Amino acid sequence: MTAERVQGKRQFGHRARLALTPAQVRLIDDQAHASRAMWNLLHDWWTMLPKDKRTLAAADAAIRQARKEIDWLAVLPAQAAQAVLKTYFRAWKNCWDGHADEPNFKTRFRSVMSVDVPQGRDLQITRVHRRWGMVNIPKVGRVRFRWSKDLPVGRHADKDNRITGARLVKDALGWHIALRVTTLEDKPEPHAGPEIGIDMGITVPMALSDGNTKVHTAWLTDKEQAKLLELEQRAARRKGFRKRGERISNRLQRTYDQIASLRARAKRRATDWQHQTTTEIARTYSVIVVEDLAITNMTKSAKGTMENPGTNVAQKAGLNRSIRGEAWGRTVTLLTYKTARLGGALHKVPAPGTSQRCSTCGFTTPGSREAQAVFVCKNEGCGWSGNADHNAARNILHLYRMGLALVPAAGRAVVRHPRGVKPTTVR
């Protein structure tokens, strides 16, 4: 007899591109603007009321009354309006607990346009083609979306495997739907693969301790990079004619939209490369060891203050852009949940000294990297030389095998540090 498999519940999100008609785009745009306006009106109402009258019931009644009296707020579905209220109250709760700053007004151009669909039964998702599916959006109708992942719909859906809700999100490439999915899956058996250490960098994005590397080309082609440069120069010229405080012209806004579209395309390609690379690594290796990098501190500006101005500010700014462009934190996040799903584990080790230690003799000294990619041991009895990135990756794996690993990322307790002063006037 075979042993029964242990099952566990898994919650994840899936993002798909919507194929909208111009009329449907206008309808969803109106809902998104109404959702943002609802947030701003709610924030204004909440902060002006006396403290003893700020309750969820009063806020709910105010939202219902506003949707009855104001036509352009009524285009937002009732459940989406309730989702705005819940999100707003949760934002205040995070502020009271010291996890975030106070909620504020949402601006028209700097806030992400989005609409919530809280209940999955309203979506009525069906698959009509190998590459396309249909979803029902409240007050919009049936909409096609790109089918790129098997979803628990129709006869495959039950109380343990279903879509619980969604959010419509607009970016530079158009409207997308982000589905919230809950499934019941078998817990994986322990992974039988080898251990690996990974050194993350800029010139070589991922260097593995077994000598392999994971590299990528530029996210934009030469033609696309030339087009981006031309658009940025055009935007700079047109911006020079705009007076301070004057509204952005339609020409300049179209140029900004084209720039955002190219940058979004580059980001999408980068994310796709990260997903494919991390999936391959998680399937191959059982234990993955990375450095515990303080990326926020590494990307701080070097401009300094008026009294103590910084040096090499432009060079440091370029380095910061390169570090953020490689998105090391997102790579670690992807590896964390993918290794857990496949029965492996991800560990972090302290970062100091990994690039200066010789992985052959253990001798550590500054200046061992004679070039960006060359490591030369200064120990007279060793003298080993080789690739600096692979040397650092072997040191990372060595720290784990010596028992110096930190708590595994999947089980680490998150410590919240308060930001600012806890508000005392709003409750």
DSSP string, 122-186: GT--EE-SSSEEEEEETTTEEEEEE--S----GGG--SSSEEEEEEEEEETTEEEEEEEEEEEEE
Strand runs labelled E in 187-317: 195-200, 206-208, 213-214, 287-291
Q: How confident is the model at residue 364 (pLDDT cuts 50, 70, 90)?
A: confident
What pLDDT, on a 0 to 100 scale, did the predictor assign at position 420? 41
Q: Which residue from 281, 231, 230 is spatially nearest to 260, judged by alpha carbons? A: 231
Determine the average pLDDT of the residues in 243-257.
87
Average pLDDT for the chain: 86
What pLDDT, on a 0 to 100 scale, did the predictor assign at position 376? 84
Q: Which range is least confidently modeled, 44-53, 241-250, 361-370, 391-400?
A: 361-370
Structure tokens, 129: 């083609």
Q: Which range is least confidently modeled, 114-118, 224-228, 391-395?
A: 391-395
H or E segment to which residue 397 belongs: helix 388-401
Q: How confident is the model at residue 405 (pLDDT cuts 50, 70, 90)?
A: confident
Which sequence spans correspond to the domains of the chain? Answer: 1-187, 189-218+274-427
For residue 18, CA distances in Å to 25, 131, 148, 383 come to: 10, 12, 12, 59
> How long, in residues, is the chain?
427
Q: Report whether pLDDT(2) > 70.
A: no
Higher pLDDT, 310 or 198: 198
- Would you call 234 helix, strand, or coil by DSSP? helix
| pLDDT tens, residue by residue, 122-175 | 899 999 988 999 999 999 999 999 998 889 988 888 888 999 999 999 988 899
What pLDDT, on a 0 to 100 scale, did the predictor assign at position 293? 84
Structure tokens, 237: 């010229």
Q: Report whether pLDDT(407) > 80.
A: no
| pLDDT tens, residue by residue, 307-333 | 677 777 788 888 888 888 888 889 999
Q: Report whether pLDDT(276) > 50.
A: yes
Q: Report whether pLDDT(294) > 80.
A: yes
Domain 189-218+274-427: give its CATH code.
3.30.420
Q: Are 106 and 40 in contact (CB under 8 A)?
A: yes
Report residue 198: phi and psi, to 5°. -125, 125
- Would you call 13 helix, strand, or coil by DSSP? strand
H or E segment to which residue 262 belongs: helix 250-284
Q: How confident is the model at residue 256 (pLDDT cuts 50, 70, 90)?
A: very high
**Cα distance between the two ends of the chain:** 59
Q: What is the DSSP letter of 108?
A: T
Q: Report whether pLDDT(418) > 70.
A: no
Q: How far is Cα 252 from Cα 25, in angstroms, rounded to an integer?
A: 22
What pLDDT, on a 0 to 100 scale, did the predictor assign at position 419? 41
Instruction: Quote the longest CA-to-CA distance of the chain.
Output: 84
- Would you call 302 helix, strand, or coil by DSSP? coil
Q: How far is Cα 142 from Cα 381, in angstroms, rounded to an integer?
A: 73
Q: Which amino acid is at 77?
A: P
Q: Are 86 and 60 in contact (CB under 8 A)?
A: no
With a pLDDT cut of 90, the percent of the chain lying above it is 45
Q: How confident is the model at residue 417 (pLDDT cuts 50, 70, 90)?
A: very low
What pLDDT, on a 0 to 100 scale, did the predictor assign at position 4? 60
Q: Report whether pLDDT(413) > 90.
A: no
What pLDDT, on a 0 to 100 scale, did the predictor assign at position 157? 85
Q: How far is Cα 375 from Cα 396, in angstroms, rounded to an integer?
A: 15
Measured CA angle at 68 (ends 63, 69), to 5 deg: 100
Q: How confident is the model at residue 305 (pLDDT cuts 50, 70, 90)?
A: low
Q: How confident is the model at residue 43 (pLDDT cuts 50, 70, 90)?
A: very high
Q: How far is Cα 338 from Cα 280, in angstroms, rounded to an integer?
A: 10
